[in-house]
Amino acid sequence: MSQNEPVHTPGTRYALVEAAWHADIVQQARDAFLQEMARCGVPADAIDVVDVPGAFEVPLHVKRLALSGRYAAVVASALVVDDGTYRHDFMAASVIDALMRVQLDTDVPVILAVLAPHHFHEHAEHRKYFMRHFAVKGLEAAQACLRTVEALRRLSVPHAR
């Protein structure tokens, strides 16, 4: 690992909450997240993965995990698509706003791997594109998770004067 790579502190725990809607796509983020965390020295048993039905259920589960005091950070992963049953932009904004509130209210970082494309179509090319994109988001989420936890840890360490 280089000096710029994120580092895991032994004993630190993390959680990932993933929506089951479009699970084959969303799970690409989970798999990449777990692989990158392992590469950075995080043992698999230091990460809890929680499946929820859809994006709307993610914030409450993230909040409960954050309030448990067991996790240094929680990652949220979902794909919000316009299926014609709700306003896509409202749903995406509601989920993201709720997740921001969770981290501000609980002081536990919430890392986003939530995508809300305006033009998602159920055909092979879009599915392949978003599967690749979610894999990238999973890797980025792992790095952001470890870097954020480390940065917050440094902020809480008293500095000598």
Q: How many C-beta atoms lie closer than 10 Å to residue 124's C-beta?
A: 8
pLDDT by residue (tens digit) across 86-118?
565 677 888 999 999 999 999 999 999 987 766
Residue 23 is given by DSSP the state H
Question: What amino acid is encoded at 39 in this protein?
Answer: R
Examine the residue annotation and report whether 153 is marked as an active-site residue of this protein. Answer: no
Phi and psi at 114, nearest 5°, equal -110, 125
Among residues 2, 3, 8, the alpha carbon closest in space to that of 146 is found at 8
Binned at pLDDT 50, 70 and 90, residue 5 comes out as confident
pLDDT number for residue 83: 61
The two structure tokens encoding residue 58: 């993610």
Domains of the chain in start order, with CATH, are 14-156 (3.40.50.960)
Residues 37-91 pLDDT 10s: 999 999 999 999 999 999 999 999 999 999 999 999 999 999 887 665 556 567 7
Write the CA distances from 98 to 61, 62, 75, integer angstroms: 11, 10, 13
Structure confidence by residue, pLDDT tens digits, 111-139: 999 877 666 656 677 778 878 989 999 99
Task: Catalytic residue, from 39, 87, 132, 153: name it.
Answer: 87
DSSP secondary structure letters along 129-142: HHHHHHHHHHHHHH
Token readout for 99 is 């997740």
